[in-house]
Structure 1
Amino acid sequence: MVGEGAGPAARLFRYDRRIAINAARATFSGWHDRLIAATMLLFALAAARSWLLDRAWPIAAWTAFGAGVSMGLTAGRLIAVRLAFHTFDGPLAADALCPELRRRYLIAWYGIGLTLLAIFTVIARPSLLITILPGYLIGAVVGHVTGSLSIAAFGAGKAGFGRMLRSWIQRPGAGIFAAAILLLSLAFAAQYLRGNALVVVAGIETALSGLALTIVDDSSVRFQTIAGRGAWRIIGRQARGAMLFVCTAAPVCAFAFGPALAAVVAATSIGALLLMVLQTLAYRIHGKGFADFIVSILTGLLILTAFSMPIILPFVGIAILWQLQRRSAARTWLLA
């Protein structure tokens, strides 16, 4: 039984807390896993503190606000998905359907997130608490509302359309099509924009195209893993469209618009591909919610490293990929 001595208000929270603890123990089962995780956490704190203290207050404040909104959005959507599971499929559906118990469940998890974020901010730069905490609360509300609406409003129809869309964008033709749209739009924008403005437009369009071409279906990844497909075989199949996109767009941009713009297109595309690799490896190890949480932390660590100490970024990236690949390799053919 889940928390036999717990009252109704605590059952939902204790149930998910136990799942989170067990998942963390399984993820960091060995001493070397815990050592790597502790090292990465300390490095992330040091990198964030170094970068934020070196920036002027307005830049640091807006960065903290944006980070808070991003973390709140992630937390809000994860909690909304988890509540939907409890409501429709979980063993504590009666508790999840009670408004008062749902409210206490939300307060408990959002309170934990707020506390951890406050501790991190105090270590990095305490004065940023006045911007990052409101950002977190705003993001949490928006994330929870949008997450709940998407679950309630679309359901299975959206899932079917999503699978069709993901199947299409993984085809090689999708990458060529996206590259053609990018090049045509840049040719049009070049008549009105010059220099950095055109580079910014190229970066935004490439980011949108890259993220669309690298969408990962967690259920498909887990099925292929159970069926015996290795991680890099799955990644190679999913990356076809994005690889053709960058191999087509970057050389043409270098010829037509200059090397600076081409470098932005290539770097942004590589970043989207790296995010896809992290998601694929994480989905082989964990369920979607916990995997997305892990990927968001690792992505933040890589971004902090890129801003604060770019010279060691390749080493940090290799260490993260090696650790995820080592753990995901053990999941091949594994049914449970």
Structure 2
Amino acid sequence: MSWDDGAMMTGQLMRWQEDPGGDHVAAWRSENDARVPGRVVVVDDRTKADDAFRWACEGTGMVWRGDFHHARQLLKALTKRVDRKDPKVGDSLTETFHRYRQAQGRRARILGMLLVCVDAGHVLRLRRAPDVQAACEAVYGPGEGRYVVSLRELQGVLSAAEWRRRGVRLPALGDTIVPHYGVFSPVRGEYLDLVARAPIPSYGSAFDVGTGTGVLAAILARRGIEKVIATDQDERALACARENMDRLGLSDRVVVERTDMFPAGRAPLVVCNPPWLPVKPRTPLEYAVYDPGSRMLRSFVGSLNEHLDQNGEGWLIISDLAERLGLRGPTELPDLIERAGLRVVDRLDTRPVHSRARDRLDALHAARAAEVVSLWRLAGV
């Protein structure tokens, strides 16, 4: 093993030294916009987990040159070490939540320091390495050059390929949705059930704002709505939604458009499931979970009247977890609805069924256990 104390971030390139071979350079790849490590060490099957953990905590990148399965074992060992230090419980749920996020950020930084070098064509030249070409090409595009990526991210890419192969079976849809890497997977079925049973004001048309995988648009089309316009501004989401509509045989009834929020015109039904927590994302992949300053929520509610037909409804699907964590005031959403010139026709509520709501060891268990997911039926005053 050899140190390269002079490894510097040069654009999107990472440079390091190793024997044999001397100087090495490769493109740096990170979907989470992680910075290029300032120092790099080459590691292999002989590397001890304690040494690797110390280097990772120091911000040192480790290029793996051993057996692929041993690299996975090392990553598991690093995970155990970083998870030994639980985030401290704060004086309030709000403080506990922010400490939890800080701990998660630290965890991601440390575990992201174990790296692999992938050759052109997405070829991973490690002993017992899987064929990663198809999975990487689906996420990164053509493999035109050599690059370095964290093993943790590569595992996420491989997992996404498996999700894409199997899909997610959804009872509310009566079918399977196929998520793409970087597009939020509809694994929490309770909010889908609300959309599947809410009374539809008109079967003529509908807008699905921020469609993601396209699951809500598909449910609406399967319920008999003749035309659904599904919007998103993320290229991966758009490709994912279009693929799902093709596979489900709904392309003639669901049009997927790239736009920020609403499409042109009005509809008798406008649906939106914005990210539920008004917190600034730390990485691009967190935008599916966090809505900084409640931007999407405020935009949807504030402009809904301009896009509703007379006697139309807007369906806002959102959790009250933000209120329970103290991230949004208890009257903030009702006040927002009132200021927008809207009234609440009805509100359908349900409780989450995911495992974290039952995990008493979770520092945020009190909020998760009491969480309510709601479909707000909104209409003009």
TM-score, length-scaled by structure 2: 0.24
More strand by share: 2
Give the helix-richer structure, 1 or 2.
1
Structure with greater Cα Rg: 2
